[in-house]
A and B are shown apart, each in its own frame.
Chain A
């Protein structure tokens, strides 16, 4: 049944029909008409962020952790451009999001009006799709199309730009109007011939390895992955974004590979005769030199996006389809087997290349902090990270027990993702423990969102691995720039405990290994947000390391 409503009301009704219950945003002139009707829709909870980038990352964290579409509101001009990093982060990691931005009135578009920005032009490369809606009558259908596009196929962010006067215009809303996207189809099952070819390779393989990517997480195929791995006894290597798609205490769990991954994971991939890639795009951080990447193996690549097939690594058996459907097709065709010799060899690799040996030191190291976090939380917390050494230590030393409990900016590598994404994850998972593992660099890029956590009493725990350095920058300058250190030291970091207290948040400082467990337990027990300032050793390079564009042959496992 069609209803005559204002544009703002149409947006809210359509959001509710899509099942939205939380929106992260900040108002501004052009989007005020939308905020003006929010009181009529108590089912839409609005979380007021402190910066639009924070709102976007929070929506991203909410989306990744709940499997639903994250929604953000921002105003025109700077409000909209501040979303760009958040959209790019979601785009690179295929996260379903819908961003609604206000735009200047229709008559003012293109005139360099106050707070005007061509946001659909600016976000074309960092969204799966975007819209500029010029009639209130089109709003309902557009919102429903946007959600359909965001959540189906290879998910991604969609932006809807709405001029101020379109929010205020009266329009027709028919919630049952069918969407019309002739250029968009959603892959489901794969071609039977592709499944047959893949199954044949799996059944013939002597040294198979599963490479589980973000696609396994996005399609929530955790049980299917485990079933396949166990049925054919195949070691499972997860990509950085595939972490927590497979329980890390499982005997077949073989770590994550690549630049700073476990040596044994990279070696298993190198020595395999078959790589079964589920939903990873063979990222350059895993592949390194494509010509020397696992040259002795055949490759199966299961991906929902055909444009990823043969993009960087040649594969013998492409399988294009939804990973969950592909598992269902593949499982009955894969024979039960053991691969005893191969599994023994992988176990040897794990024993010979522990990789995660924590350096012996009386000082507090980043690894000690993550290990203690993992132990005290029993590997059951939702972890968010930014990008850099702290991210890699978190990936290496936190032993994830629960599916989909790792939220990290993989493709875009966005410093500052950790602080707001944890807010989104906590909003989406009110009863769960959320720890945000931060570097002191990334933390300061988005730390204004502490106010958002405080305001909503969200019990997020922030662990700052504070070495007053851009650690990864320091490491690269050590390795690749003749130890010529430039712009890598933070001499003016604030007192993070006092900073937390200024926000009305509990602050704890930890400077030695002895204090670790008690401090983490204290943070866990506190009913509200906590910032723990872990003062760690200044320069501590991260190993193992495969330098950029190289292969396993150039692995630096342990400098000593």
Chain B
């Protein structure tokens, strides 16, 4: 299970959406989060296995029940074919980072050693710096970035999280699943307890 605490009491949730590959889809989706003042912590978009469809994976921060409600509203969008909140499920997830770090001759050996330990690949090397790629979970990438700081980070470029359900689903672990079959009882959302009507 991915780590999904952000350290400030908010929860991160991973939402996967299959959407029609059309202009404006991302704006419609991000609008539903923006409306509530939520930050999208990471976002990855790409063509899916189905022609004309893209897959989006978001990591969003906010109260669980509100995010679940937003996910139900996402499914209401015409261009959204399927939405799944896969946070609590048995998923495989990865992020990719390109890290450009200062690596003059005297420290290059140490930097390469760290890259080796973290199974990062060096993809470019210059006289004073090198760039490595690393994929994995957020904590793994965070910790490599932390260790490389003392050498002088020149640039850190991270993709959003991409995630998929594992091939074998364990029975009873389907919490947070928003299927696009609207009559499905998994639509029974937890209740929000916020203040009502303020005007």
Contact = CB atoms under 8 A, between A and B. Distances in A.
Contacts of B197: 284-285, 287-288, 548-549
Nearest to B65: A310
Nearest to B82: A183
Nearest to B191: A314
A120 B78 contact: no
A313 B191 contact: yes
B156 to A, nearest CB: 32
A183 B81 contact: yes
A287 B82 CA distance: 31
A549 B80 contact: no
Given A124-B31, A312-B192, A129 B78 contact: yes
A185 B31 CA distance: 22
A309 interface: yes
Interface in A290-318: 290-291, 305-307, 309-314, 318
B195 A183 contact: no
A318 B183 contact: no
Nearest to A283: B197
A184 interface: yes
Interface residues of B, number: 36
Contacts of B191: 310, 312-314
A321 B185 CA distance: 12
Contacts of A124: 24, 27-28, 31
Nearest to B195: A549
B168 to A, nearest CB: 27
Contacts of B187: 306, 309, 318, 320
B68 to A, nearest CB: 9
Interface stretch (A6-14, A59-67, A188-196, A261-269): A188-196
Contacts of A193: 185
A306 B182 contact: yes
B19 A183 contact: yes
Nearest to B81: A183
Contacts of A287: 196-197
Contacts of A291: 193
A124 B199 CA distance: 24
B84 to A, nearest CB: 14
B183 A548 contact: no
A182 B20 contact: yes
B27 A125 contact: no
Interface in B59-88: 69, 72-73, 75-82
A187 interface: yes
B196 A125 contact: no
A143 to B, nearest CB: 15
Query: B interface, by DSSP: helix, strand, loop or mixed?
Result: loop
Contact of B192 (A181, A185, A311): A311
Interface string A116-153: 00001100110011001000000000000000010000
A347 interface: no
A306 B72 contact: yes
Contacts of A121: 27
Contact of A289 (B81, B185, B190, B196): B196
Contacts of A194: 183, 185
B188 interface: yes
Contact of A125 (B31, B75, B190): B31
Contact of A307 (B31, B73, B198): B73
Contacts of A312: 191-192, 196
Contacts of A548: 197-199
Contacts of A290: 193, 196
A183 B20 contact: yes
Contacts of B72: 306-307
B41 interface: no
B125 interface: no
A186 to B, nearest CB: 9
Interface string A319-342: 011000000000000000000000
Interface string A189-229: 01101100000000000000000000000000000000000
B150 interface: no
Given A124-B31, A306-B72, A183 B183 contact: no
B160 to A, nearest CB: 22
Contact of B183 (A181, A191, A305): A191
Contacts of A187: 182-183
Interface string B176-187: 000010110101
A320 B183 contact: yes
B78 A128 contact: yes
B154 interface: no
B198 A549 contact: yes
Nearest to B28: A124
A310 B196 contact: no
B165 interface: no
A548 B183 CA distance: 34
A549 B27 CA distance: 33
B189 interface: yes
A311 B196 CA distance: 11
B182 A183 contact: no
Given A121-B27, A284-B197, A314-B191, A307 B78 contact: no
A146 to B, nearest CB: 10
A537 B189 CA distance: 48
Contacts of B79: 183
Nearest to A145: B78
Contacts of A314: 191
Interface in B23-69: 23-24, 27-28, 31, 35, 53, 69
A185 B82 CA distance: 11
Given A183-B77, A183-B79, A290-B193, 20 more contacts: A121-B27, A125-B35, A129-B77, A129-B78, A132-B24, A182-B20, A183-B80, A185-B182, A191-B185, A193-B185, A285-B197, A306-B187, A307-B72, A307-B73, A307-B76, A309-B189, A312-B192, A321-B183, A549-B195, A549-B198
29 contacts: A120-B24, A124-B27, A124-B28, A128-B78, A183-B80, A183-B82, A183-B180, A184-B78, A185-B180, A187-B182, A285-B197, A288-B196, A288-B197, A306-B75, A306-B182, A307-B69, A309-B188, A309-B189, A310-B191, A311-B192, A312-B191, A312-B192, A313-B191, A314-B191, A320-B182, A320-B183, A321-B183, A548-B197, A549-B195
**3 closest A-B pairs by CB:** A284-B197, A307-B72, A306-B187
